[in-house]
Every structure is written in C-alpha cells, then in structure tokens.
A and B are shown apart, each in its own frame.
Chain A
Amino acid sequence: MGENKSDILQGTLDLMVLKTLDAMGPMHGFGIARRIEQIAEDALQINQGTIYLCLIRLVQQGWIDAEWGTSENNRRAKFYAISKSGKKQLAEETRNWERVSGVIGRVLQLSKR
C-alpha cells in the first residue's frame, strides 16, 4: 500500500514540476523545490532532495532538458527547462488530472448528500 501512495505522490510531483517549469521558464532544482513549497504552503513536507529523483526521471523521459549554468548570485547550478514533448505531456496530464479530480469531487459531493 505504501508503494501505491508514493506512486500517486510521484505522479503529482511530476505534474507539479512540469507545470512549474512551464510557467516559470528554466530553473535549477533548488528553485523548483522552493517554488513548489511556496505554493503548497507547507501542505507538502518532503525532503528537498527527493525533487532530484523526479527530475532525473523526467529528463530520461525526454520531457525536460538539463544544462549546467550560473545562477543570479553567480553560483554554478543545473538548470532544467521543459521540452516540446514535455509540454504535450503536461497538457495531457493536466486534462487527466482535471477529469479524475472532477470525478472524485462529484463522488465526494454525492456521498455528502
């Protein structure tokens, strides 16, 4: 069961990372982690390092590209940017998510009545 839970988490994390990169343009891992934390407002408490497990998967799937660069405060960091196929994937995942969350929402409404 624990595995299933993390699978769901993994899927959502993928989606969040893709969306973040799509909205914000190229970012390094720290930036992505910080951004997701800000939006989640402490609802999502994970080790920041876990973000890299997600990033390497996305890179290998070809949905994001990675490149070493220099940050605004002149530090070396790896920057990630969403690719064309990543955008397609994001659109599809978003549709999926909306459909599923819509269904779940309706089911929950139903049981409330």
Chain B
Amino acid sequence: MPTRLRLLVARLRALLANRRLDEEFSEELESHITFLADEHIARGVAPPEARRLAVLRVGNPTSLRLQHRDARSVPWLQDLWQDLRFAARLIVKDRWLSAAAVAAIALGIGANTVGFTIINAAFVRGFSFDAADRLYAISWRHPAGRRTPASVADLNDWRDQARTFSGIAGYSFDLLDLSDNVAPPEQAPGSRVTANHFAVLRQQPLLGRDFVAADERRDAEPVVIIGYDIWKNRYAKAADVLGRSVRVNGRAATIVGVMPERMKFPENSELWMPLVPTDEQVARRIRSVSAFGRLADGVSAEAAVTELSGLAERIRAANPDYAQQVAGIRVETFLQRFLGGAVRPMFITVMAAVIFVLLIACANVANLMLSRSTHRAREIAVRYSMGATRARVIRQLLVESVALSAVGGAAGLGLAWIGVGAFDAAIQTSQPPYWLVFAIDYRVLAYVAGICVATGILFGLAPALHVSRHNQNDALKEGGRGPAGGRRASRFAGRLVVAELALTVVLLCGAGLMLRSFLALYATDPGFDVNGLARMRLHLQPSGYPTVESRNAFFDRLLPSLAAVPGLSHVAVTTNAPPLDGSEREIVLKGDRQDHPGADRPVVSTVAITPGYFTALGVPIPRGRDFSALDATASDRPVIISAVMAERYFPGQDPVGDRVGFAPDEREGAAVGAVDWRTIVGVSAPFLQGSSDEAFRSAVVYIPFREDTPRSASLLVRSSLPPAALMADVRRAVQAIDPDQPVLTIQTMPEVLAEERVIYRIFATLFAVLAAIALALSSVGLYAVMANAVTQRTQEIGVRMAVGAQRWQVSWLFLKRALLHLLLGLALGMPAALALARLARFRLVEVEPNDPVTMVGIIVILAAVSCAAAVLPVRKAARVDPSVALRAD
C-alpha cells in the first residue's frame, strides 16, 4: 500500500507543478533529439536533415508532452479542474441567468436545510448520551394501550433477571423545593433516580461524583446532584458548591455533584436525588417509577422485548392485581418515548414539504439550463467535431450545473442559518424538551454538501442528456437553433413547468389547511371573556404547608384579602386555568359493570376549582348550579361537568342529579377502594378547556378545590388593573400571609392562549413561507418558459401575422399553452394534495382535509399568479412586428 500512496502523492504534486514539469520534459526531449541528431551528423547527414530524422524517430513532441502529462499525474482530476474553470467563466459570463439559477437553488437548498436541521435535531442528533440508540424506555402497558409506570419491586426484578440489558435504571419526576441560606427558596423540576441512573446513561458529572449504591439506603446521608443552570444561576458557578448543605423539600441534603450544561434527563430536570424506596413502593402497591435500560452489547431490541415480556408475565402471574391493571410490557426507543406523538408527523411533514420546494427549484433551474444549453448547441457541436465523446460532454455540462448548485448551496446555507435561528427562537417559546437542539452542526453541513451535488446532477442531467443528443451537423449548419431540437426542448420545459405547478398545488394545499386551522383556532370563541383576565401560578412549599388543612388555611386568608383589592372584581383558584385541563381519570357510568377492569373505560380530565371559577371566567352554568363553600365536604360528593362531557356521555338527557364515578386510580395504590361515585350538580356552557390534542374541547369533570387542596395552583383574577400593578397587589397580599411564599409571573389570558397556540403558529408560518417560495419559483418558471417560447417562435408569429392572423389569435396561441400547463398542474396536483391532506389531518383543527374554501383558494391564487406570469410574454407575442420578425435570425 505505501507504494500506491506514494504514487498518489507524487502524482498530486506533479499536478501542482504542471508547468515546471512540462518545461523540464521539453528540455529532456530536446536533449534526446540533440543526441540523435549528433549521431546522424557524425554519419555525414546535413544538420537540418539530421534534426528532422531525429524528431521522426523520437515522436511528435506535442503528443508526447500530453502523454507525459497523463502518465505522471491524475488525468481526470486535471480535466475536472479544466471543466471547473470553464464552468466558472460561464457562470460569470451569463451572470443574469446564473443569478436567477443561484437564487432558485439558494431558496430550495435553504428551505431544505432548515427542514433537515429539524429532522436532524429530532431523529439523528436526539439524545447526546454515548450510544443513545441502545437506550430503551421500559414501562407497563395499560389494557387501554397507554404507558403505566413500574413499582420499585418490578424494577428490581427486571434489573436482577434481565440478561439482555447491561443496566436498568429508574426515576420518578417531581417538583422539588430547594432552599438554603444563599438565595430565596426556589422550586425546580427534579427527579428521584436510582443510583445507576447516570451510569446507565453513561453521563459523567461535570463536578463531584455520581450517585453510588449506598446513597439509596434509607439510613444514608441525603445527597443531591444539581444541574448546570442551578449551579450557574443560584451559586454563580462557585467551585466550593460541592459539600454544601442545602434543604430539598425542607430536608437537609449535601450537594455531591454538578451535571454539565444541557443535561436535564429526565424531562427537564435540574435536580437529582437518590430514589430511596418506601415500604409501599417495594411491596408493589405504588407504581411510580419510569424505567429505562441500556441494551447489552450484541443484543437486539427484539430479544430484549422477548425477555422482558417473559419476566413481565411472571410478575403478572404472581400478582393478581397486575393481571387486571396491566396488559403487558412496552419497550420503546428514547425517541419513541420522549418525542411527542403529534410532533413526529409534523416534523416529517416539514421535511416532505422542503423536499417539494427543492424539487420545484430543481425543475426551475433545469429549465434555465435548458434554455441556455439550446443556445450552446453550436459550442457543443464544435466539441464533438474535435473528438469529444458524449460522456465527456455530459460530464462537462454536469460539472457546470454542480458548480452552479454549489454556489447556490452556499447562499442557501446562509438563508438556512437565518431560518434555523428564527425557527429556534420561535420554538423556544413553546418550551420544547431540553434535548431538542435546532442548530446547524457537521451533519447538516455534510447534508448540504451532499444535496448540492445531488441537486446539480438532478437539474443538470436532463438538459445535459438533451443537449448532448443533438445532431452536431444540424447544429453547425443551422446556427444553433435546430427546429426539431428546439421543439423537443420546449416540450420538455413544458413538462417541467407542469411538474412544478403540481408540486406547488400540494404545498399550497398543505399551507392553506394549516393556515386555515390556525386562523380557525384564533377565530374560535374561547367561550369565556379573556379581557381583563389573568393567571398567576403559585406553588406552596411542602415544608410550610404539609397538610390539606394548612393549605386550606392559607387560601382561606388569601381569597378575602384579594377580594378587597380595589379594581379586582373576581378571583378564583384552580389546578388548571383554561385552555388547559388537568390530570386524566377513568370514569364509570351508571350502566357500566363496576367490576369491569380498566380496558374500555372512558377517560376524562379533572380540574379542581373554587366556587366562583365560572363567574370569574364569565362562563354561564345553564343547567344546575355552581359550587358552594359546603360542597367540598358534602356527602353526595358534588361535581360539575363540561358541556362536552354532558353531550358525550349524557346525550339528550339532563345530567343534573345523575351520577358519575371515578374508577379507582391504580397509580395511587392498586385496587384499594371502590368506585368513587359523584353527583352532578351543574353543567357548564361550552368553553375552551381541555387537551391540545382535542383542540381544548375535552370532557372535563370539575371537583371542589378544597376536597384535596393541592400544593400547586393557579390564581384566576379578573380586574381592570394593568398586569404589573395587579401582580404587585397579589404579591403583597400573598406575602402578607407568608413572607417566604413566591408568586410566579403573571400572564394575561390572551398571553396564555397565544402560548398554547404557538406550535400551530410556528408551523402555519413555516408552511406559509414554504408555499410562498414554491409559488414564486413556479410562477417564475412559467414566465421563463413562456418568454422562451415567444422568443423562439418570433419568426413563426411573423409568418402567421403576415398571412392575416389577428393579434388576439397570436395571444391566444400562447395563453392557451399557459392555461394548459396550469390545468395539467392542477389536475395532477389536486388529487395528490387531497390524499396528502387526509394523511396530514393529525394537526388540523376545525378544518376538514377537503376544506372547499382552501381548495378554491388554491385554484384562484395559482390561476391568478400563473396568468400574471404569462401576461408579459403573451403581450410581447401580440406586439411582434411581422416585418421585423420575418427578417430575424
């Protein structure tokens, strides 16, 4: 191998020193010729004749020089260099055409790069852990299909018995209160994790140590590992943070480690404590641990699923409760587990859309190249007659188009950089998972490089094949405008435009539907009066408020003092302010068999509210009544249900006075207790409160807040005060009761609604931008093809006019063609668009996939833009002066 490497190096060096080596070789040849000539002269031949004979014997010096060049260097590289230089000259020469092509490619590649960056963040980059693709999330499968956490005992069984995993860890996510003498107490998302949590992830701490098995023991000194953000913001990156004593949820713990930046697994954790199991957890009565494991080397995921399913069956067989509550095991990759269900198809749709945009750009540039290469027929004919092969000509043309796409790609990368920045800034407002990082990394750069070459070949190949097929004799004879070739070219160009228009229809359809659902979402009457309504979040410290009674006492003092604030008209406390809903629970209806386990029970969401919640929102209660202060302790356990709930489960009836039961919640402690029966005392008017998957229209059961006053609550306040003043007043009222109690930032209700809709806004905007690019590209494409056709047929128009054709007839000749393209584009694009829209209905809200308004809108927009694009060339055709045209070349 070293010989070959040495040869390559020598040849590359020879390539660089081409001129010097040429000269040296000439000198060597010259000396050879002189030696030969000397011999002839010695034999008595006259010097000029001697030299002639010598040259004859040695061979043609020019040809030898070329052969020598090929022998000593890398011929194809040399040719490539030559082609590139030629291409560069051509790009500069046709600068307007090049600029148009570069602009189209830049838009196409720019959009495509943004799309790939999104895909890259979600599906390629993913989690930053070492060999993250070997990490699998493990959970029980509920009979209804959803994930159910494991108990500590389950986790231990899996860990001890599973051979297919090199390690299995678990965590339970929580909000943890952190306090010390350094800064005011704060609440941070945190996790209690098994000691091997970080080891299974293969995540080293930035400072200090990882958890060790001893930390899990009940008598162990409590320890905590803090996240980078807390270290930076709370402790100003102090080096001596290790060993400090802090209080977590009011109990002393020692900081033993700091995690690096951007490590917040699971969820967006910023604090980690060892999971010290309680008796109940060990005894399988509480299932609250999310498990994950790392596959052992060489083990397939299928093998792991098989083994875990076997272990799960054994656990189910040994525990009668389990047999009813869980149906089996769920093993998923981290991406499947942690990338939200709706986000995934959304990202894939974006990728599909940007591929369409790139294809449209390619068709456009192919047309430009085609129009130029028709003019170049003569040059190519000369190349052929000089002995170039067809492959050589095609290669030269491809080098040109790849060079062009490289320039476009560089510009596109610039556009993508801006686009990715804008997308990232927008998406950050929707609080994405910490590991989704939208950035242009080396993978994106490699992708761009690849796509540049692919694009260049894609838009260059068809024109190159077309032009190189030209009969060179025709081209030389007829001044580079062979009529047959011209017609074939324009037919091909027409097909490209039809394809562009069809793709544009699909994109317009996608964008149109997205925009429509976004607008519909905005236009939807939320059902409550958003003006003057604000939300403030409040998390009571567990140390200060350990019991329901203590929390009730806090709110008993807070609500009257808030009601006394001037300008504040209504106040209510809830677990979940609209449009979001609260935790889900399974319900049992009157006719249902009560012993029926899990599977098919309907699921509704629950929201705890204080009396006056609906009044504060401005939502009427058309049937029944609002809660009273006594309902929390009333023996008939009153609830209010939402309009959606009434319609879905009590159709055509008056549910007031009827009953609904909550199925025993297996998460809290299996099959303990029976169905929790409730009496419906009221039905609310329809308004937006629910899960975003159901467009905030879910079946909701409202329960009295004081039944089980939670630590986390939202204050819902209606007032005429500006938000800042209101915030100050509320804070004063809260801190008059408890000076240490923080109130989280105020949000007005329009802000809250906008936050919930931000994901729709981002994607609607993205699609609108993509569709606008597509529309612009395809209309420019149509314009170019029409203009080209008019130029090529000037002579024909002259003849037609000379024999009596009217201007309108000439116009119609071209307009007909533009309309044909448009109709074909619509005919091909519409069915595809409809089919895709049906696939993409996952994110459509309030809009059907075959929404007539969108469809008609697309046709009108496309027709208008196409006609505008065609109008200039058509007018030019109608204005042809026959006497000039007939004389034109």
Q: Are A60 and B7 in contact (CB under 8 A)?
A: yes
- Closest approach, in angstroms, between the C-beta of B457 and any C-beta of chain A? 29
CB nearest to A50 among chain B residues: B59
Q: Are B68 and A53 in contact (CB under 8 A)?
A: yes
- The listed residue (A56, A75, A78) touching B72 by CB distance below 8 A is A56
- Closest approach, in angstroms, between the C-beta of A68 and any C-beta of chain B? 9
Q: Are B59 and A60 in contact (CB under 8 A)?
A: no
Bound-complex Cα distance A33 to B32 (A)? 10
Q: Are A28 and B31 in contact (CB under 8 A)?
A: yes
The 8 A CB mask of B14-46 against A (1 = contact, 0 = none) is 100000000011011101101110100000000
Q: Are B72 and A30 in contact (CB under 8 A)?
A: no
Q: Residue B71 at the A interface, CB < 8 A? A: yes
Interface residues of B in 42-90 (CB under 8 A from A): 57-59, 61, 64, 67-68, 71-72
Bound-complex Cα distance A99 to B34 (A)? 40
- The listed residue (A50, A56, A62, A75) touching B34 by CB distance below 8 A is A75
Q: Are B3 and A52 in contact (CB under 8 A)?
A: no
- The listed residue (B11, B28, B61, B72) touching A29 by CB distance below 8 A is B28
CB-CB under 8 A from B34, the residues of chain A are 75
Interface residues of A in 4-26 (CB under 8 A from B): none
For chain B, the count of residues having a C-beta within 8 Å of the partner chain is 26
Q: Is chain B's binding surface mostly helix, strand, loop or mixed?
A: helix
Q: Are B7 and A61 in contact (CB under 8 A)?
A: yes
Would A60 and B38 be within 8 Å (CB), given that A48-B59, A53-B67, A77-B31 are in contact? no
CB-CB under 8 A from A49, the residues of chain B are 29, 32, 58-59, 61, 64
CB nearest to A85 among chain B residues: B3
The 8 A CB mask of A36-69 against B (1 = contact, 0 = none) is 0000000000011110110011011110000000
Q: Residue A84 at the B interface, CB < 8 A? A: no
CB-CB under 8 A from A75, the residues of chain B are 31, 34-35
Q: Are B31 and A47 in contact (CB under 8 A)?
A: no
Q: Are A52 and B68 in contact (CB under 8 A)?
A: yes
Q: Residue A106 at the B interface, CB < 8 A? A: no
Q: Are B38 and A73 in contact (CB under 8 A)?
A: yes
- Closest approach, in angstroms, between the C-beta of A92 and any C-beta of chain B? 12
CB-CB under 8 A from B35, the residues of chain A are 28, 30, 71, 75, 77
Bound-complex Cα distance A12 to B410 (A)? 50
CB-CB under 8 A from A33, the residues of chain B are 32
- The listed residue (A57, A71, A73, A78) touching B71 by CB distance below 8 A is A57
CB-CB under 8 A from B72, the residues of chain A are 56-57, 60
Q: Residue A95 at the B interface, CB < 8 A? A: no
The 8 A CB mask of B284-312 against A (1 = contact, 0 = none) is 00000000000000000000000000000
CB nearest to A54 among chain B residues: B71
How big is chain A's contact interface, by range? 20 to 34
Q: Residue B10 at the A interface, CB < 8 A? A: yes
Bound-complex Cα distance A56 to B14 (A)? 10
- Closest approach, in angstroms, between the C-beta of A88 and any C-beta of chain B? 11
Q: Residue B6 at the A interface, CB < 8 A? A: yes
CB-CB under 8 A from B68, the residues of chain A are 52-53, 56
Q: Are A29 and B71 in contact (CB under 8 A)?
A: no
Bound-complex Cα distance A56 to B72 (A)? 6
CB nearest to B72 among chain A residues: A56
Bound-complex Cα distance A109 to B219 (A)? 96
Bound-complex Cα distance A60 to B38 (A)? 30
CB-CB under 8 A from A62, the residues of chain B are 3, 6
Bound-complex Cα distance A60 to B35 (A)? 25
CB-CB under 8 A from B61, the residues of chain A are 49
Would A47 and B28 be within 8 Å (CB), given that A52-B68, A61-B3, A61-B7 are in contact? no
Bound-complex Cα distance A49 to B27 (A)? 13
Q: Are B31 and A48 in contact (CB under 8 A)?
A: no
Q: Are A53 and B57 in contact (CB under 8 A)?
A: no
Q: Are B29 and A30 in contact (CB under 8 A)?
A: no
Would A30 and B36 be within 8 Å (CB), given that A48-B58, A52-B25, A52-B64 are in contact? yes
CB nearest to B32 among chain A residues: A30
- Closest approach, in angstroms, between the C-beta of B518 and any C-beta of chain A? 66
Would A56 and B3 be within 8 Å (CB), given that A48-B32, A49-B29 are in contact? no
What 7 A-B pairs come out closest when comparing CB atoms?
Answer: A47-B59, A49-B59, A60-B10, A30-B35, A49-B64, A53-B71, A49-B58
Beyond A60-B6, A73-B38, A76-B31, 7 extra complex contacts between A and B, CB < 8 Å: A33-B32, A47-B58, A47-B59, A49-B61, A50-B67, A57-B72, A78-B24
Identify 9 residue pairs between A and B in the complex whose beta-carbon atoms are under 8 Å apart, listed by A's number. A47-B57, A48-B58, A49-B61, A52-B32, A60-B72, A61-B3, A61-B7, A75-B34, A78-B28
Interface residues of A (CB under 8 A from B): 28-30, 33, 47-50, 52-53, 56-57, 59-62, 71, 73, 75-78
